[in-house]
Structure 1
């Protein structure tokens, strides 16, 4: 029987597929829908210390090859997600989930992480270094000096399994520089990639979303080649104990297969999950299993990272 099970750090997951932060994760009801689907796990909406309404609407628009959004980190606040995850720890202790979070300042980031550190939460934590849609706030991960300083401070007190959500990088030297920073720390994973920031999509003579005069993050088919490049570049450069979650442009089992082939240990679905609903996990899993069976692969480790080059 072909298995799509996978592992991140010491944690085992029955299926390599999960949601991407920002989709089907705002409320307990949405998270429960993912939990009871074919997905292997879920990640919560990226939480700030206090609840946020986010940017004015319309702030998300489906477009032919994906989506454009400028959400502005709407979320229920850290306590909402942490309390829910602690409940799940009691009721389904055999399962592991991802808590996504970000501070609107370095001080807030430390306040949030120290609260998680002091709690009994024993799952995975994703620190979002790549939110492109908060007006006036730059993406931390594009500033390598700031990233190194922040992670140095974080790992002076944080001892739970931690990974980082990354924006897409577009230059080979930036892959080198980013990996040199991340390899200094005991990160459990990196997640490649968040949306491609500040695209513009027009309808007639008008922008399609309201915030930032229409500038927003691109998701879906538009970003798969960029996502695959980032997954493979970091697979080539990061120490093996830092695993990779692949995110971007997953519509089919073939897309998931390519992310794994490039080195991903888990694969997240965002835009297409928003369009199709949680039934997508069963469909993409079946398509992935069919590809694996056709190629004679029993597990994802049989082909993970084994991308072939042209001589």
Structure 2
């Protein structure tokens, strides 16, 4: 009897010690924000769980500030201007990660130069049926078909009002979408302008998600002209002291004719946006994709999108003669990826998929590598490097 109790006690003690030890190991790894720890230990474990569940955990981690904050200031050569904003660095988090505006403060403290939330729709809606997120691990990519799942304007505004009271320094973008059942699309975007004018530093008109039926048709010249005219009219009716810039987010799957149409539309005074986001996810599927879920319906993000979005940036930068600020998105996993988009014409960049695969350490990794690349290539700032290879890259796409 005594032997059984002793054995049980030993097993229990061993279990406690092991649990504490494993917990301490993971706790220290997270606290130190070590990329090797995340890549070798934490992320492989995370990837055993369903993707949407992990996405939610990541948002909560930033919401409750469980990840380390950045203590060291960014390198001087990363300081830059985006629109009229002075950024400590050009790296932002793309819309689609913090859809409901829950984790803005935590994301900012982790080292992002600016934060974009959304897409937000006027009325709450659940989005598409689950499962709707798929990892393509072999391809360093994700396919999603969320379909603008949103808490709605009122709930998100309440969160952002509290945020701005406690931290007004954050450069905050609000990405606007339309409800699935809305027939007159521009009505929903105008509602978003009116609703978030007091908290948004800039707006994004998202008409390029492939997961809402008919949404991408709004990129067609006639539809786009009407939409932008209505949105800009709404913005211009606001108090002059608070008229946030309006940016347009476009798809990476545009033809040369589509690009020409968009450039033509945004060149009109009544449709002149303040910037572009290039690009959203792609519906194209390269034959080189290896993962078993590669044929799932939805938008593909991550490494396979990198070259495609960079070429689109160069095309539009060249077509607009560098007069329209561009935020580059798609396949940014390291400093070289960010550098490529900047020399193609981007003023700033955003990530999403690389954060999902590599965790918070990727933020510092990209910034450090980008800073080193700028210095190695003789650029004292992001602005000096912007568009320096745009014409070369644009010619390569013809």
Normalised by the length of structure 1, the TM-score is: 0.88
**Are 1:225 and 2:311 matched, yes or no?**
no
Q: Match of 2:112?
A: 39
Q: Match of 1:164?
A: 248
Q: CA deviation at 1:29?
A: 4.3
Q: Secondary structure at the match of 2:99?
A: coil
Q: Match of 1:309?
A: 392
Paired with 1:54 and 1:234, the residues of 2 have a C-alpha distance of 31
Q: Secondary structure at the match of 2:371?
A: helix
Q: CA deviation at 1:48?
A: 0.5
Are the counterparts in 1 of residues 355 and 362 from structure 2 also a CA contact under 8 Å?
yes
Paired with 2:379 and 2:284, the residues of 1 have a C-alpha distance of 39
Q: Match of 2:334?
A: 252
Paired with 2:152 and 2:186, the residues of 1 have a C-alpha distance of 13
Paired with 2:184 and 2:86, the residues of 1 have a C-alpha distance of 33
Q: CA deviation at 1:156?
A: 2.2
2:229 to 142, 149, 152: 152
Larger radius of gyration: 2
**Are 1:191 and 2:277 matched, yes or no?**
yes
Aligned length in residues: 303
Q: Which moved more, 1:47-56 or 1:219-228?
A: 47-56
Paired with 1:164 and 1:127, the residues of 2 have a C-alpha distance of 5
Bigger relative CO (Cα 8 Å, ≥ 6 apart): 1
Paired with 1:117 and 1:20, the residues of 2 have a C-alpha distance of 22
Once the two structures are superposed, the pairs formed by residues 36-115 of structure 1 within 5 Å of their partners are: 36-63=109-136, 64-65=138-139, 66-104=141-179, 105=182, 107=184, 109-114=186-191
CA spacing shift, 1:115–1:168, aligned 2, 3 Å? closer
In the TM superposition, what whole-angstrom CA distance separates every residue of 1:67-113 from its partner, at most 9, and x where no partner exists?
A: 11111111221223323333333322233210011123364542453
CA spacing shift, 1:109–1:274, aligned 2, 3 Å? farther
> Unpaired runs of 5+ in structure 1?
none
Q: Which moved more, 1:149-158 or 1:107-116?
A: 107-116
Are the counterparts in 2 of residues 197 and 217 from structure 1 also a CA contact under 8 Å?
yes
Cα root mean square deviation, aligned: 2.5
Q: CA deviation at 1:28?
A: 4.5
Q: CA deviation at 1:247?
A: 0.4
Q: Secondary structure at the match of 1:127?
A: strand
Q: CA deviation at 1:243?
A: 0.7
Once the two structures are superposed, the pairs formed by residues 6-17 of structure 1 within 5 Å of their partners are: 6-17=80-91
In the TM superposition, what whole-angstrom CA distance separates every residue of 1:121-163 from its partner, at most 9, and x where no partner exists?
A: 35101110111012x3341344221111111222222233111
Are the counterparts in 1 of residues 105 and 167 from structure 2 also a CA contact under 8 Å?
no
Are the counterparts in 2 of residues 199 and 217 from structure 1 also a CA contact under 8 Å?
no
In the TM superposition, what whole-angstrom CA distance separates every residue of 1:268-298 from its partner, at most 9, and x where no partner exists?
A: 1021112222332111101111111222222
The structure with the largest strand share of the pair is 1
Are the counterparts in 2 of residues 78 and 101 from structure 1 also a CA contact under 8 Å?
no
> Unpaired runs of 5+ in structure 2?
1-74, 237-242
Q: Which moved more, 1:191-200 or 1:243-252?
A: 191-200
Q: Which moved more, 1:101-110 or 1:71-80?
A: 101-110
